[in-house]
């Protein structure tokens, strides 16, 4: 039985596309993406999922009375689709312990820096690369880590370094980190955990 995966997104879905491609190419062979959830109604990531026959759901925070109600709806969808593993791929919303504790070591995120550098609350998207360039680091990269209630606070699974070049802009650095690290590490981690969950029989 394949590990059933849900991917949470907020934007364009380039990391989602890397996972879809890995699934097609046999890199992600122990798991299958069953559901893509977005907290943004018009996120292009949803179209990427639909183009590949993957079920989608839009769950908008503003439609719920509070964070617990919002997370309860996410949990309801996880149960409906019998999700074993959750992957945050450019998901811009922080989830509380109410949600994360239901998926201990079954929920991962990719962060565009070498944690513990340039991580935590406020460090997301281009802001991470702007900070790296402002600090003058010569090496950056990406990190895949388990998710808990602390932003970027879970145990590190995989890291990959990327060189910072003298003429880098935040946009140029962002693209290189994606191509050389994020799009490689996230499928690797997804397969590693999918295989482990299936082997241990710890699926839902």
List the catalytic residues: 111
Helix, strand, coil shares, percent, the chain, to 5: 40, 20, 40
Q: How many CB atoms lie within 10 A of CB 177?
A: 25
List the structure tokens of 195: 């295989």
> Greatest CA span in the chain, whole angstroms?
49
Q: How far is CA 186 from CA 65, 66, 80, 98, 183, in A?
A: 33, 31, 25, 25, 6
The CA distance from 52 to 33, in Å, is 10
Rounded to the nearest angstrom, the gap between the alpha carbon of residue 108 and the centroid of all alpha carbons in its chain is: 6
């Amino acid at each position: 039985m394949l590990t059933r995966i849900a991917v949470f997104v907020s934007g364009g879905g380039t990391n989602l596309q890397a996972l879809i491609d890995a699934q097609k190419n046999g890199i992600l062979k122990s798991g299958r993406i069953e559901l893509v959830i977005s907290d943004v109604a018009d996120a292009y990531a949803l179209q990427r999922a639909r183009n590949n026959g993957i079920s989608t759901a839009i769950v908008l925070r503003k439609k719920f009375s509070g964070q617990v109600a919002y997370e309860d709806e996410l949990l309801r969808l996880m149960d409906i689709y019998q999700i074993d593993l959750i992957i945050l791929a450019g998901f811009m919303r922080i989830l509380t312990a109410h949600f994360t504790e239901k998926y201990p070591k079954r929920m991962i995120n990719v962060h565009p820096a070498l944690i513990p550098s340039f991580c935590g609350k406020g460090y997301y998207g281009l802001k991470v690369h702007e900070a790296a360039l402002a600090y003058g680091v010569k090496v950056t990269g990406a990190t895949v880590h388990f998710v808990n209630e602390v932003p970027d606070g879970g145990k590190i699974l995989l890291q990959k370094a990327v060189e910072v070049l003298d003429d880098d802009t935040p946009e140029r650095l962002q693209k290189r980190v994606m191509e050389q690290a994020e799009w490689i590490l996230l499928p690797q981690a997804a397969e590693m955990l999918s295989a482990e969950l299936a082997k241990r029989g710890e699926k839902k």
